Amino acid sequence: MAGSLIGTQVRRVEDRLRGASTYVGNLQVDGLLQLAFVRSPLAHATITRIDAGAALAAPGVVSVYTAHDLRIPRHHTFVRVNDTCLRPPLAEGKVRFAGDAVAVVVAETVAAAADAVELVDIDYEPLPAVTDPEAALADGAPLQFEELGSNLAAGARDPDDVDPLAGADVVVRARMENQRVAVVPMEGNAITVVPGGEDDEHQLTVHVSTQMPHLLRNDAARLFELDPQRLRVVSPHVGGGFGGKAGLAPEHSVAIAAARVLDRPVSWVETRSENMTAMHGRAQIHYAELGLRHDGTMVGLRIRVVGDSDAYAGFGGALAMGPTRVMAQGVYRVPALSFAAAAALTNTAPVGAFRGAGRPEAAAMLERIMDMGAMALEIDPAEIRRRNFIRPDQFPFTTEVGTSYDSGDYALALDEALRLGGYDELRAEQARRREAGERRVLGIGLCSYVEITGGGGGGEFGAVTVHADGTATARVGTSAHGQGHATSFAMLVADSLGIDVGSVHFVQSDTAVIPTGGGTGGSRSLQLGGNAVRAAADEVLERARELAASLLEADVDDIVAADGRVGVGGVPGRSFG
């Protein structure tokens, strides 16, 4: 594609410093009230008394609400795992993790709200807590939801009729912890809810730091029984998500409820301390067993995973049953695979997605056990991988768990990494240091992986409009929060229409102007949103070429777009701008 923009290093159009950022915390709204949450210091306790009297009397305080006052239905965030364990956005009767919200203060300023939080007097009767997911599944563990009868939020196993390790010459085994990590986006969560009048087009406008504005709108509309078309959700500049900003969080529903009760705009901008307990990821324990022949080829894998599903059956715990299982076989030919996963309720903060969401956990488990196999058989870790890779001629390839791989050349990528690294020289240096008895030793680690991107499939909204001044507007249902879509998607439009990247306006993340959208997560945006925008641009171009051909009495095949004009190729006088 001569002269194509595709594949070129176009600088990000997002990074120009103009002092015009629109983060939720920057939003100026007349009469805006501030929320601050009163959170439990205990991991598990019965609430015996809440006294908000002193807080209500404090200067600048407008109101203090508990679950009893707002009566918000219990709900999930992003994905439902177990309906018995839905979370009350403000605790009802008991708290289940340190940081669980018990009450919310509404005040004229952030400082007044924060000060009044200290004045809300809550009595707790402590209950035994369990934070370890394996201990939570043991007999006699403290129960999060007594009515559930155990702390098992969800789980499934394969039937016992296949022994994946049968016929192996060597079996290597390990229990592996894939630790809980915090999502830590640069900007924490934030929401501003602005009520509209009865005659306004939108009953409520919600500005929120989220990856998926349409999902949040739909979940909020369902929860509060509102017409989704009268609820506008805008996701302005967002300082990173990494999986932690998907769906309707409890603080979101509290903010919406408070704005409705007061009929005044309210805002909540999370503190960093709150964010450290807002969303965690990973949090899996793997029991991995790999059977191998003497030549290093794989016979089978048996995987059992405990996922930590936090205090309210957070979806992170159940990712073990989904993406981790789906990717358990990785890049290898595995003749037999048995997989089981259990999601455990613990007295801990929400566990959801973190960059990769279940897939990195599978890769870590598989690549670690692969290395243990290599060590047991004294085969080089690169060589044992090569002996087991799915070969390029085997694509499309369907794995033991039914995942379909479209394409790949795993040896190509591994060999390129080894070439770039100078693998043989590194191994020689490692051996030299060992033989010399040096106390600073070298380690060389490999990982070959494959992952699902855009795994939810489906479609995405994309639209392109061309304006009389020669510019174009691209609208899309994905929702960039740092990824650079304004640049990437403008490149696709500019490349198609023959205009400058700077002539493309980019519109996203506002349910009032984008009819539908899946947002951004799961590495989906370019595949789904990018292709949608490109198809729209190509369609616009096709119509322009047909129109130009008709007006110029030329053959449509001779019409090209370049330099902002459409006309007969190579004939400057015969074109339209």
Partner 1 sequence: MVEVDLDTGHVTPLRHIAVDDCGRVLNPMIVEGQQHGGAAQGIAQALWEQVVYDAEGTLLSATLADYAMPSAADLCSFEVANTETPTPLNPLGVKGIGESATVGSTPAVQNAVVDALSHLGVRHLDLPCTPQRVWRAIRDAESGTLADPWREPPPVFATLPVRGAAPAPEAEGADI
| Residues 327-356 close enough to bind partner 1 by CB under 8 A | 340, 342, 347-349, 352-353, 355-356
Is there binding between residue 101 and partner 1 (CB under 8 A)? no
The 3-state DSSP class for residue 540 equals helix
Is there binding between residue 79 and partner 1 (CB under 8 A)? yes
For partner 1, give the closer residue by CB, 74 or 260. 74
What minimum distance in Å lies between the beta carbon of 65 and partner 1? 25
What minimum distance in Å lies between the beta carbon of 371 and partner 1? 5
Among 55, 269, 319, 337, binds partner 1 (CB under 8 A): 319
For partner 1, give the closer residue by CB, 92 or 134. 134
Which letter does DSSP use for residue 525 in this model? I
Q: Name residue, tokens 């960093």.
A: 272
What minimum distance in Å lies between the beta carbon of 31 and partner 1? 34
Among 3, 8, 149, 263, binds partner 1 (CB under 8 A): 8
Among 66, 144, 178, 203, binds partner 1 (CB under 8 A): 178
Q: Draw the binding track, 361-400, toward partner 1 (x: CB under 8 A; -: no contact).
A: --xx-xxx--xx--x-----x-------------------
Rounded CA gap, 246 and 526, in Å? 18
Is there binding between residue 357 and partner 1 (CB under 8 A)? yes
User: Total residues contacting partner 1 (rule CB under 8 A)?
Assistant: 134
Q: Is 330 left (phi over 0), alpha (psi -120 to 50) or beta?
A: left
Binding to partner 1, residues 235-294 (CB under 8 A): 242-243, 246, 272-273, 276-277, 280, 282-283, 287
Binding to partner 1, residues 33-62 (CB under 8 A): 42-44
- Tell me how far the alpha carbon of residue 391 is from its chain's centroid: 31
Is there binding between residue 156 and partner 1 (CB under 8 A)? yes
- Binding segment toward partner 1, per CB under 8 A, in 25-33, 482-490, 506-514, 547-555: 482-490
495 class by beta-carbon count within 10 Å (0-12 exposed, 13-18 middle, 19+ buried): buried
Residue 204's H or E segment, with its range, is: strand 204-208
What minimum distance in Å lies between the beta carbon of 359 and partner 1? 6
Q: Draw the binding track, 182-201, toward partner 1 (x: CB under 8 A; -: no contact).
A: x-x-----------------
What minimum distance in Å lies between the beta carbon of 262 and partner 1? 31
What minimum distance in Å lies between the beta carbon of 393 and partner 1? 13
Is there binding between residue 23 and partner 1 (CB under 8 A)? no
Q: Draw the binding track, 118-147, toward partner 1 (x: CB under 8 A; -: no contact).
A: -----------xxx--x--xx---------
Backbone phi, psi, residue 62, to 5° = -95, -40
Q: Draw the binding track, 524-543, toward partner 1 (x: CB under 8 A; -: no contact).
A: xxxx--xx--xx--------
Show Cβ contacts of residue 403 under 8 Å, excluding neighbours closer than 6 positions: 326, 327, 329, 452
Among 170, 449, 539, 574, binds partner 1 (CB under 8 A): 449
430 class by beta-carbon count within 10 Å (0-12 exposed, 13-18 middle, 19+ buried): middle
Binding to partner 1, residues 498-527 (CB under 8 A): 521-527
Is there binding between residue 103 and partner 1 (CB under 8 A)? no
For partner 1, give the closer residue by CB, 421 or 515. 421
Is there binding between residue 403 and partner 1 (CB under 8 A)? no
Q: Name residue, tokens 């998907």.
A: 246
Among 97, 332, 389, 397, binds partner 1 (CB under 8 A): 97
What minimum distance in Å lies between the beta carbon of 70 and partner 1? 26
Backbone phi, psi, residue 375, to 5° = -65, -40
For partner 1, give the closer residue by CB, 108 or 500. 500
Q: Name residue, tokens 């519109």.
A: 507
Residue 207's H or E segment, with its range, is: strand 204-208
**How many of the other CB atoms lie within 10 Å of CB of 390?**
21
CA torsion sign for 450, 453, 458, 462 is negative
Rounded CA gap, 532 and 50, in Å? 52
Beta bridge pairs of residue 172: 290
For partner 1, give the closer residue by CB, 444 or 562. 444
Token duo for residue 2:
């001569």
**How many of the other CB atoms lie within 10 Å of CB of 223?**
18
Is there binding between residue 412 and partner 1 (CB under 8 A)? yes
Is there binding between residue 491 and partner 1 (CB under 8 A)? yes
Rounded CA gap, 462 and 516, in Å? 9
What minimum distance in Å lies between the beta carbon of 291 and partner 1? 14
Q: Which residues of 174-206 are buried (b: 16+ CB within 10 A; e: fewer)?
A: eebebebebbbbebbbbbbbbbeeeeeebbbbb
Among 409, 500, 539, 558, binds partner 1 (CB under 8 A): 409
Sheet order of strands, 121-126 included: 94-95, 45-51, 121-126
Residue 170's H or E segment, with its range, is: strand 170-182
Among 60, 228, 322, 498, binds partner 1 (CB under 8 A): 322
Beta bridge pairs of residue 462: 476
